[in-house]
Amino acid sequence: MDRIANWLNRNSLYIALITAWVAMCGSLYFSEVRGYVPCVLCWYQRILMYPLALVIAIGLLRRDWNLPYYVLPFSLIGLGVSTYHYLLEKTDLFAGSAACRQGVSCTTQWINWFGFVTIPFLALTAFLIITVMSVIALVNREPVAEDEEGDALRMPWLPVGGLIVAVLAVFAALFISGTQDPQVAAASTNPFPTLSLTPVAISADAAAHGEQIYLQSCAACHGLDGMGVENLGNQLRASEFLASNSDEQLLAMIRAGRELNDPANTSGLVMPPSGGRPDLSDADILAIIQYLRAE
């Protein structure tokens, strides 16, 4: 145990370095390869994480024992933002939040691994690791200008550069393997013509329920009126897509979502399974469909 503790004490900031670079490259993979559009809170977390990738690397190269002091303000604020974002996704504690009034909703769950691992959860974990490793380094006054024998470390760039190159190599492989065929899913913000559809009569209660869920879950991408948002979500109301599919087909499609390489994806953007709301029941989604079909 002492050997493990000593190793951790000496390498805590290298662990922080790897974490920062993995978090940065991972966020770019999600947005640039998988097509998951960042929300406002995601951008705040990127603003706090990306500088850490360079700050930690430069601090280690300079063997600056003040490095934890530079890192902790970013990581602690990032930890707070990520925690807030995750609670916003998974609980009703901030149901009246004014976050993400424009663009992608902050409650959109692009991934939901094991029922609890979302992108904010991954960011929270990264900020937590960086914070803990910085505190350990601060307590042990790492990094130091000299090693245990008193000789100056001659090549600090070797471990720093090696770790960065290793992370970049892994994500380069992921980027190359995950890049979509450019001929698939050509971008188009409103590919369907507006049709003259016969209005569907639904009860006032059903319409109100469907409208409420639509505004909470879909309006950020598809517009408050269902007529689409440029460069974000296609038109739904009075569209050929809505008219040419049954309620059951639409329900199945919404449940499955649309990946970038899906031939039926005409927006050039990913639609997450269940619209990023895995908590919605089939009845909730059908209520949204009926609301969009109504006059």
The answer to whether the pTM exceeds 0.75 is no
The half-sphere exposure of 182 on its side-chain side, counting CA atoms within 13 A, is: 1
Q: How many domains does the chain have?
A: 2
Is the same domain home to 258 and 213? yes
Within 8 A by CB and 6+ apart from 286, the residues are 247, 251
Residues 51 and 8: their CA atoms lie apart, in Å, by: 23
Kindly indicate the confidence band of residue 188, based on its pLDDT and cuts at 50, 70 and 90: very low
Of 94, 95, 89, 13, nearest to 45 by C-alpha is 89
Q: Are residues 166 and 232 in the same domain?
A: no
pLDDT at 180 over 70: no
pLDDT in tens, 244-264: 888 888 888 888 888 777 777
Within this chain, do residues 140 and 262 fall inside the same structural domain, yes or no?
no
**What is the pLDDT, as a whole number, of residue 214?**
84
Q: Do 153 and 281 have their domain in common?
A: no
71: pLDDT strictly greater than 90: yes
Burial of 77 (0-12, 13-18, 19+ CB in 10 A): middle
159 versus 17: the higher-pLDDT residue is 17
Reduced to 3 states, what is the DSSP secondary structure of residue 146? strand
Q: What is the rounded CA–CA span in Å between residue 147 and residue 271? A: 52
Q: Is residue 72 part of a domain?
A: yes
Residues 79 and 157 in one domain: yes
Same domain, 59 and 157: yes
Can you spell out the DSSP letters for 158-203? HHHHHHHHHHHHHHHHHHHHHPPPTTSS---S--SPB--PPPBP--
Domain of 275, CATH number, reads: 1.10.760.10
Residue numbers of the domain that contains 226: 204-293
pLDDT grade, residue 193 (50/70/90)? very low
Q: Are 28 and 173 within one domain?
A: yes
Residue 222 shares a structural domain with residue 157: no
Q: Are residues 146 and 49 part of one domain?
A: yes
Final residue belonging to a domain, choices 144, 178, 212: 178
Same domain? 19 vs 165: yes
Task: Kindly state whether residues 239 and 138 are assigned to the same domain.
Answer: no
